[in-house]
Amino acid sequence: MGQDAAAVPTYAKVELDAGFTPDPQFFSVTSGGTISANGAVSSACRGFIADAPDVRLSYSAGSLPLIISTRSDGDTTLVVHAPDGRWYCDDDSGEAGLNAMVRFNSPMSGRYAIWVGSYSSGAYLNSEVAISELSSQ
C-alpha cells in the first residue's frame, strides 16, 4: 500500500458529526495524479491519484449512511481509506455515469482519507467531493 492516509490533505480537512447541515457538503479539488491506484492501492481500484489525500474527513457516525461522491465534467475515480483500515474504490457508480461514489451503509466513526482520481493518465479535472448522509449529490 503506497498511499499514506495520514499525510496532510491537499485541499481540505473536514470534521462532521452525524446530522450535519447543509447536506451535502462540497469541496473543490483537482482530480488526478501520477500514481496508478491499481498498482499503489488495490487491483480493484482505477485511475490515477496524487500522493497525498485530497480531503480528510473526521466523522462521528450516527444511524444514517455516509456517501462520498465526485462531481466533474470528466471521468473521475474515487479511493477512500476508511477508519477500519480498508481501502474502498469506485469508478462510475455516481451520477451522470462518469462520476464515482462510495457508500457506507453503516459508517464508522473516525478518519476517512479521500483521493479523487482521473481515469486517464495525465488528466487533471476540476472536480468536487460531495459528502452526504442523504444522497449521492
Question: Which tens digits make up the pLDDT trace of 109-127?
Answer: 999 999 999 999 999 999 9
1 located within any domain? no
The Cα–Cα gap between 77 and 86 comes to 17
Report the first-to-last Cα separation within the chain, whole angstroms. Answer: 30
Number of domains in the chain: 1
Alpha-carbon distance 122 to 19, whole Å? Answer: 38
Model confidence at 136, pLDDT cuts 50, 70, 90, reads low
* 6 in any annotated domain: no
CATH at residue 125: 2.60.120.380
Which has more pLDDT, 1 or 57?
57
**Is 4 domain-assigned?**
no
Q: Which domain holds residue 115?
A: 12-132
52-61 pLDDT per residue, tens: 999 999 999 9
How far is Cα 15 from Cα 59, in angstroms, rounded to an integer? Answer: 6
pLDDT at 41: 86
Question: To 10 degrees, the CA torsion angle through 99, 113, 14, 19?
Answer: 70
